Amino acid sequence: MLQALTGKELEYLVDSISNEDLLIKQNAVMAESATNMQLRQLGQQMIQTHRQHVQMLLQSISQHQQLAPLQPQQ
């Protein structure tokens, strides 16, 4: 049952995308420059999971696109 997104929900979704984006980049640095192989591999794995997260968050925003009112509501 989809409801229109509240302003707050939208902000959390958007903030979460920034968080996931930052984590992708941090993991990329770890996967590239760590000397420990376990850390490098884990970094690579986590990049993929964070990319999925970004897609899920984007998908959720787009699913709510049509429900959003065009005028401010009371």
Which residues of this protein are in contact with other proteins, per CB under 8 A? 1-6, 8-9, 12-13, 15-16, 19-20, 22-23, 26-27, 29-30, 33-36, 38-39, 42-43, 46, 49, 52-53, 56-57, 60, 63-64
CB 20 within 8 A of CB 53: yes
Least Å distance, CB 70 to other proteins, is 19
The conformation of residue 64, written as its DSSP 8-state character, comes to T
Least Å distance, CB 31 to other proteins, is 9
State which H helix or E strand residue 48 sits in: helix 37-63
